[in-house]
Amino acid sequence: MLSPLRQRLGAEFLGTTFLLATVIGSGIMGERLSGGNIAIALLGNTIPTGAILFVLITMLAPISGAHFNPAVTTVFALRKELRSSPRAAVSSW
């Protein structure tokens, strides 16, 4: 079994990777399918990004807190604001 730190780091890495892939992919898709209409391109990027954020936060928040931004996680760690257990992080909501 993985240590709690490895689980949290793995969840953060997985969440960041999926979010990055979705944002880039939906941006390319929106641009190609919009036919030059900027509003449609933005909509084609925004909806998938919001949907994947909902899914990732729902799945990974109990494990890592679902920051998905290494800078945010680093600042929380430096300020010693990361909870010692994933359950404590979720229960603080």
Separation CA 73–CA 61 (nearest Å): 13
Interacting residues of 36 by C-beta distance below 8 A, sequence separation 6+: none
Tell me the three state secondary structure of residue 1. Answer: coil
- pLDDT of 84 reads 53
How many Cβ atoms are within 10 Å of 16's Cβ, its own excluded?
16
Task: Name the band, by pLDDT with cuts 50, 70 and 90, for residue 83.
Answer: low
Rg of the chain in Å (alpha carbons): 16
Mean pLDDT across 63-84: 77
| Per-residue model confidence as pLDDT tens digits over 14-68 | 998 999 999 999 999 999 999 889 999 999 999 999 999 999 999 998 888 877 7
Q: What is the pLDDT, as a whole number, of residue 47?
A: 94
Cα–Cα separations (whole angstroms), residue 14 to 9, 69, 70: 9, 11, 12
pLDDT of 89 strictly over 60: no
